[in-house]
Structure 1
C-alpha cells in the first residue's frame, strides 16, 4: 500500500496558509455584513427585510472572490437571523410569516455565517436598538450583555491548544453568576472542519435538563493545534431554559441519515438542498417557491434527513444575549477572525466581576504574532485565483 501524503491533510486545515486566507476572506465578508446590519437595526426596521439583506450581501460578496475557480462553492454557512428580547436564536421569518418591526430598546441578536470553498466563518452579535454612549443600556439588559460579552472574552482566552471544554463551561458559568444571569442550557460551540459546521469536538454550556433531553451526550474534549472553532456564548436573565413555541422553524441542516423519500415534492426539495447547501445550515426563504419548500421539508425532518434549528425563547420579560465568533488555533497564536463589535462604553451594570482569577484571565492579551512573509505568500496565491 502506498504511503499517504501528509500534505493532503494540511491542504484541508489551517496548517496551509491558503486555507487560512480562505477562512479570513470568509470572515471579512461576515464582518462587513454584520457591520451593515448593526447600522440598520433602527426603530421601524423590518426583521424580515434585514434577514433578506444579510443573506443577499453574503451571496453578492462571496461571489466576488476566487472567481477563476468556477467549481468552488461559496456563500452562506448560516442564514441571517434576528431574534428579539427573550427570543434567543434562529428567527428568520418567511414571506408568509408575520414580520417583526424593531422598536427603541429592543435587544437584538444577529447571527450569520459565510464560507469560501467550505471553510466556514460564523458570527453573532447582540445590540440594543437606540443604545449609545449618551443613551446607555442599563438594568437587566445590561447585565445580560456584559455577562455574555465577558464570558465570550474569557472563552477566547481559554481556547488554546491543551485547553479543555470543561474549563470554558465552568468559567462562563462563573461570569454569568457574577451578573445574576445564567448560561442558556445546552448551548453548544463546535469544532469546524471543511464543509462541516458541527465537528467532532463540542463545548456545552450549562449541561442541564434541556441539554440532556434535546442533545446527544457529548464527550469531553481537549483543544489542539490547527483546529477551528465556532464559539457560541448565550446568557439569559431568566432561568436559562430554552423553550420552543409555535413560531415556525425556517432554518435546517442536512444530516448523514439515509431514507428513500416517498413524496415527489420532498425528493425535489431535498435534491435542491443537497446541491445548493450541502451540509451548511439554510433558510427556507432561500427557495424560490416557498410553498413547495414548506411542503418538502416536512417529510425530510420526519425521517431525520434534516435537522431543524428551532426558534427558542426564555420566559416573557426576560432578556437573552448571544455572541458567536470564529477562532483559528494557529501555530502563531489563537486568531479571532470575526470581529468584536461590542462597545463597553454603551453599557452600565450594577454588577461586576470581583473574582481575582477571572480578572487576571480577562486581562490576558489575545494578540497574535505577526507572520508577514507567510501572509504575503498566501495573499498572492489567493489573488491568483480571483
Structure 2
C-alpha cells in the first residue's frame, strides 16, 4: 500500500513539474489537461480525477470541456491540480503558477506583486501544515497552522475548502483537513494518507458555485427510457464508478450531443453528481498548493514532493 502511494506520488510530482512549464501566454487550457491526463496513463497509472485548471478567481473544479477555447494570459494565476492512482492508491497534488509572457500587457506591476504574494502565502500555509502533522495531532491544529501562515501575508485562507483523507479508490475518504482552526479535535492516526491543500486569497475567503458543470461523480444506478443514456450510465459504472470523471471524456466517447444530453439527464436524476466550478465570493484572486502525505509517528512522508 505505502509503496503504491509513493509510486503514484513520484509520477504525479514529475507530471506537475513538466506541465507547469506549459502555463504560458496563449496556451490552450485544453492542451494542458490533455497533456496531464495522457502522461498519467503513459506512466502506468490511472487518472484519479480530471485535471483541474482554475484561473484567477476560480479556486477549483474547472476542467476543459471538449473544444474549450480558453487560453492563458500572461500574469494569470493558474492552479494546476492533478491526481494519479496506482492500485487504487492516490497521489493528489497542486501548484499555482503565474502564466509566463509579457505580464505588463495584462496586469500592473502592483497586481503582479500581489499575485506572487498570494502564491507564496498558500505555499507557506502548506509548509506550516506539513510541519504540524504527526500521529495524534488534532486536525484543527493543522488548520490553525495554515491560517497563521497565510495571515502573515495579510491574506485569508479559503475557509470553506478543505484537504481530505485518502483511501484505496476513494479520493475523499471522510476526514476533512481545514485551513483554519475549526475546533475539530479528531486526531490523525499513523499510516493515514491525507491530501493537504491550503488556498490563499486577497478576498474574504469564501467560494461560491459558478455556472457550468465539467466534473462528475457516479452516485447510483437509475432506470432511463433513452437507450443512449442507459449506455452512458453503464459506461460510467464500468469505467468511472469510484473516482470523479470529466464530461469531456463522455462527449469524446459518445459524441457531443448524446453525451451532453445523457450527462444532464443523469445529473437531474442524481445518478451522477455534477460539480460546479468554485469561484471566490468577491471575485478576488486565489492560489493553491497541495501535497499528499502519509502520517508517521513523529511527522510524515510527503509522497508528491
TM-score by length of 1: 0.70
Q: Hey, what does 2:271 align to over in structure 1? A: 305
Matched, 1:91 2:57: no
**Larger strand share, 1 or 2:** 2
Contact 2:135 2:296 in 1 (8 A): no
Provide Cα deviations, 1:27-58, integer angstroms capped at 9, x if missing partner. 12211211111111111111111111111111
Q: Hey, what does 2:26 align to over in structure 1? A: 44
Q: Which moves more between the two structures, 37-46 or 265-274? A: 265-274
Residues 96, 275 of structure 1: alpha-carbon distance in 2 compared, 3 angstrom cutoff? same
Q: Hey, what does 1:56 align to over in structure 2? A: 38
What CA distance in whole angstroms lies between the structure 1 residues aligned with 2:138 and 2:275? 26
What CA distance in whole angstroms lies between the structure 2 residues aligned with 1:262 and 1:50? 37
Q: Hey, what does 2:206 align to over in structure 1? A: 241
SS in 2 for 1:297: helix
Provide Cα deviations, 1:348-375, integer angstroms capped at 9, x if missing partner. xxxxxxxxxxxxxxxxxxxxxxxxxxxx
Matched, 1:193 2:156: no
Unmatched 5+ stretches in structure 2: 102-108
Provide Cα deviations, 1:110-147, integer angstroms capped at 9, x if missing partner. 0110101111111110011228xxx9995321231121
Residues 221, 148 of structure 1: alpha-carbon distance in 2 compared, 3 angstrom cutoff? same
Matched, 1:106 2:71: no
Provide Cα deviations, 1:272-308, integer angstroms capped at 9, x if missing partner. 1121122111111223223323222223322333232
Supply the RMSD in Å over aligned alpha carbons.
2.5
Unmatched 5+ stretches in structure 1: 1-18, 63-73, 209-217, 340-386
What CA distance in whole angstroms lies between the structure 2 residues aligned with 1:204 and 1:44? 35
What CA distance in whole angstroms lies between the structure 1 residues aligned with 2:180 and 2:268? 28
Matched, 1:338 2:304: yes
Q: How does 1:140-159 map to 2 (within 5 A)?
A: 140-159=114-133
TM-score by length of 2: 0.88
Q: Hey, what does 1:224 align to over in structure 2? A: 189
Q: Hey, what does 1:285 align to over in structure 2? A: 248
Larger Rg: 1
